[in-house]
Each structure stands twice: as structure tokens, then as C-alpha cells.
Amino acid sequence: MTIILSYYKCRDDWKDEGKHLQRWYAGMLEKKCGELKKQYPRQWRAVAEGIAGLEEVEKKAARDFDRAINCSGKMLSELFVCEEDFWSDSLRTLGYEIGRFIYLMDAAMDYEKDGKKGSYNPLFYMGKKPEEMKEIMEIPLGNAMRIFEKLPLVQDVSLMRHILYGGVWQQYYAKFPGKEQKR
């Protein structure tokens, strides 16, 4: 799944910013991606459709920022499901909420850069500054945490819990000091 996401990220960086190294790297990943497309058609389709949906929203500079946020969630929801079983719905929901959180976090972290370049950023349409986003970002993350705690995880659960409960905030806290939760 990392290779699929990397491939699309490289293509996006090439298209948006003209990064030649990313174009080269996407080319290097193409052969492997062809294999992955056949092996994981549902996941491949979810990423392709998610990226297309994001591009559509961004091209229109749409105020429909919820659609962009949800595209990211829907895309990740399918990557969290390896096979259809009893846990599929929970894993989809976990991926969906983490995808929404990641999209909002990325928007907060890229706010200044996007403003200077005139790139799409949902925070512009939400009327929010990055340092005002913590409570909003806590909503999808809290939803993800509730699902996570219900999963029958054993291996590396402490590490995953540490990442989900604290690690995901490290860049945000570094960029916006004083936003850490007071204990």
C-alpha cells in the first residue's frame, strides 16, 4: 500500500510542483505498481478515485472542503482492509477517520506554503488558521481511537497506541508551540 501511495504522491508532486525527481521516482515505481494494481484492484481503485476526487476539488478551488476531506478518508478506508471479514467495517472506519485526520493535519502544516504558492488548502475556505485546528482535528482522531480500542490487536499494540495518541501530533506541536494538551 505504501508503494501505491508513494507512486501517486510522486505523480502529484510532479504535476503540482514540477519536481523532476518525483517524476523519475514515479517512473521507477510504475512496474511494481502494475503488479500491485492486479494484486490489489480494490485498493488501487480507491487510491486512484481518491486522488481524482481531490484533484477535482482542488482544480475548482472548491469551498466544498468536506468533499476533499472525505475523499482522503474514503481512500485510506480501503487500504486498511486486507480481506473481507468480521473486522472489515471497523478497519474501514478506522482508515476513514485517520485519512480525514491526515488530510486536515497536512492542510495545517502546509498552510503558509499553500498561501504563498496560491495552492488549494481547505483551511482557507474554513476560515481557520492552523493553530485553531486542533479541536477540529481531534474529532476524526477521537473516532479512530474509539475503533482502534475495540480491535483485537496484540502485536505492536503499544507502539500503535503511542503513535495514535501522541505521535501524530508531534509536528503540529513543534510548529505551533503551546498547543499541547495541559495535564
Spatial separation of the C-alpha atoms in residues 165 and 142, rounded to whole Å: 9
Taking only the tens place, the pLDDT of each residue in 74-122 is 999 999 999 999 999 999 999 999 999 999 999 999 999 999 988 899 9
Contacts of 164 (CB under 8 A, 6+ apart): 141, 144, 145, 148
- Amino acid at position 75, single letter: M
Q: Is residue 50 in some structural domain? A: no
The residue-averaged pLDDT of 161-178 equals: 92
Contacts of 73 (CB under 8 A, 6+ apart): 95, 96, 97, 98, 99, 100, 103, 140
3-state class (DSSP) for residue 180: coil
Whether 179 shows a pLDDT value over 70: the answer reads: no
| Per-residue confidence band for 132, with pLDDT thresholds at 50, 70 and 90 | very high
- Our count of domains for the chain comes to 1
Q: Is residue 22 in some structural domain? A: no
Q: Is residue 69 in some structural domain? A: yes
Domain span including residue 134: 62-175
The x, y and z cell numbers of residue 19, run together, are 519536481
| Per-residue confidence band for 50, with pLDDT thresholds at 50, 70 and 90 | very high
Contacts of 134 (CB under 8 A, 6+ apart): 172, 179
CA distance between the termini of the chain: 37
Whether 4 shows a pLDDT value over 60: the answer reads: yes
Q: Is residue 168 in some structural domain? A: yes
- Give the pLDDT confidence score for residue 19 in this predicted structure: 79
The residue-averaged pLDDT of 13-26 equals: 83
Whether 181 shows a pLDDT value over 70: the answer reads: no
